[in-house]
Structure 1
Amino acid sequence: MQLTDIPSEMRELIGNVKQITIPRQGHTSSVTILHTSSHSYVIKKTEHELYNEWLADEYKALKHLEETALPVSTAHSFFADQNARWLLMDYMEGVTLRRFLIDNSDQKQRDKAIASFGRCLKQLHECSCPMDWQHKHTEHTWLDTMISKAEYNLANFAVDGNAGLLTYLKENRPGWVEPTLIHGDFTTDNVLVRDGQITGVIDWAGAAYGDPRYDVALAIRPKASAFEEERDKDVFYDAYGKRRLTDEEYRYFEQGIYNFF
């Protein structure tokens, strides 16, 4: 991404850029870090119908959450043109928890970071949820919405799920739990760590008033050097302070719903 590519409205907000950094890229957007003499910003750009919608949702979520105590970035501007969407927000220092665990073999440091991860999710699930998010589910639950979106995504986009799995999800819904504020993609790639503590939570496109078990399932999904051992789950759950998912609940959310997003 070049400076000249950035919408002029955003360039005016940023000011004089001293340095540009290109971080490791994800699958849904291009990301650029812009450094001025006094501040650092992140710009995310998407150019796909589904990902454009997600970026718009992330902007709305960040605006809702900026007055909470959660460690989220301040969103400054959102811009849409014919094919692309742009989000300008503050840069947050840190490495992803996944990167931290890959690079760190010291058990005490690993436990410290994983415990912080669990406490962060506890704080998130206990945070007040915007009333208009709650009102969205007066007639349909979050799971109703997710299954409807899964059906649409299966018909219109390349997803990992299939028709048989979607039928299973419709017919085998888990028991009801009290909805909370959820992140919607609370993985080890979407939290930032400094000095063994979670300092930022990123990628809020899936935020909603929904089922907290979805966040937990994604949090503990095994990755290289992360949650491959039962110890990591024990440390996480001790810090999270709420009941463990059953195997059936984990499979329903991580191996089921998540495969359509």
Structure 2
Amino acid sequence: MTRGLKFNLDKELLDKLEVITGSIHRADMIDEQGWTSAVHKISAANGNYILKSSFKEKYREWLKTEAEVLKKLKSQQEIPVPEYMHYIEETGRNHLLMSYEEGVTLTKALREAASQDEKKQLMKSFGQLLCRLHETETAHLEHTGDWLEDQLKRADRYLKAGECDGDRELLEKLKANRLAEVKQTVIHGDCTTDNVMVRDGEVRLFIDVAGMTVGDPRYDVALAIRKVMADSELTEAFYEGYGLFRLSSREFNYFENGLYEFF
């Protein structure tokens, strides 16, 4: 078995996993997807899987929430996400087992694209996928109350714990200059190019869905275009695919240079 560089899978954990996967043949670390968790591709008798393992309290909380979201979405077809398989809590670490999905992140696909036209097509398909998500009406996901108010409260908690890049001055500015409310929709909640997967030249799948809920769709759009804002053609390609609305500069800055600093 190939052992990961950041986290070794011990026998006790392997025994728990093999109840679902069957005999495990390999466990290979996927460094590209390891920002908040150690991520392994598991090759086993029953197929291929992804195992995410988190250790820091904040990220363990996120992983537990992601497991709950995937479990809710297991029986639906509208929102393309990995399939929930199993969730394990241990002392000091949590683990989420899900289906392995072919493809690469949009970040990698853009980096390796052979032409500007290929990049534009990728961003257009990203916009199309996000549009479908924001237009989805599903009882699987719901959020009562004001999503933005809840996010500001979470930001305050992370700030007090020293677990974010934002500071008190920025948070108070966000509270004092809140954007006008818009209709809440199903959102991804961390919709960066790292958190969608490309297969056959199109963006087809959402990953890292701990933040998926009903909330402000402008947050998704701001994070979706954050890495391509300097390229007007790629930004336009995204909006061509998305088609629902465009962010004002104030809206973009509120989320990308404001709220996101705390997450």
Q: Same fold (TM over 0.5)?
A: yes
* Mean Cα deviation higher: 114-123 or 9-18: 9-18
Aligned equivalents of 1:199, 1:176: Cα separation in 2: 29
Question: Is structure 2 residue 28 aligned with structure 1 residue 21?
Answer: yes
Aligned counterparts, 1:1-261, within 5 A: 1-2=8-9, 4=11, 6=13, 8-24=15-31, 25-66=33-74, 67-130=76-139, 133-134=142-143, 136-137=144-145, 141-222=146-227, 226-261=228-263
CA contact (8 A) 1:14 1:36 kept: yes
Aligned to 2:142, the other structure's residue is in SS state helix
Aligned residues: 254
CA contact (8 A) 2:86 2:96 kept: yes
Q: Which residues of structure 1 form unaligned runs of 5+?
A: none
CA contact (8 A) 2:24 2:42 kept: yes
Aligned equivalents of 2:184, 2:155: Cα separation in 1: 20
RMSD of the alignment, in Å? 1.5
CA contact (8 A) 1:97 1:193 kept: yes
CA contact (8 A) 1:129 1:209 kept: no
* Mean Cα deviation higher: 101-110 or 166-175: 101-110
Tell me the residue number matched to 2:5.
none
Q: Which residues of structure 2 form unaligned runs of 5+?
A: 1-7
The one-letter amino acid of 2:80's match is P
The one-letter amino acid of 2:252's match is Y
The one-letter amino acid of 2:107's match is R
Kindly provide the CA deviation profile for residues 100-130 of structure 1, in whole angstroms up to 9, marking residues without a partner as x.
1111131222222111100000011111243
State the shift of 1:132 in Å: 6.4
Aligned to 1:87, the other structure's residue is in SS state strand
Aligned to 1:18, the other structure's residue is in SS state strand
CA contact (8 A) 2:141 2:214 kept: no
Aligned equivalents of 2:241, 2:155: Cα separation in 1: 32
Kindly provide the CA deviation profile for residues 141-184 of structure 1, in whole angstroms up to 9, marking residues without a partner as x.
00110000000000013311000000001000111100001100
State the shift of 1:35 in Å: 1.0
Kindly provide the CA deviation profile for residues 41-68 of structure 1, in whole angstroms up to 9, marking residues without a partner as x.
0111111111111001101111222313
CA contact (8 A) 1:182 1:207 kept: yes
Q: Which TM-score applies when normalising by structure 2? A: 0.92
Kindly provide the CA deviation profile for residues 218-237 of structure 1, in whole angstroms up to 9, marking residues without a partner as x.
00002xxx443011110100
Tell me the residue number matched to 2:4.
none
Aligned equivalents of 2:202, 2:114: Cα separation in 1: 16
Aligned equivalents of 1:49, 1:7: Cα separation in 2: 22
CA contact (8 A) 1:62 1:73 kept: yes
Identity score, percent: 37
Aligned equivalents of 1:22, 1:48: Cα separation in 2: 18
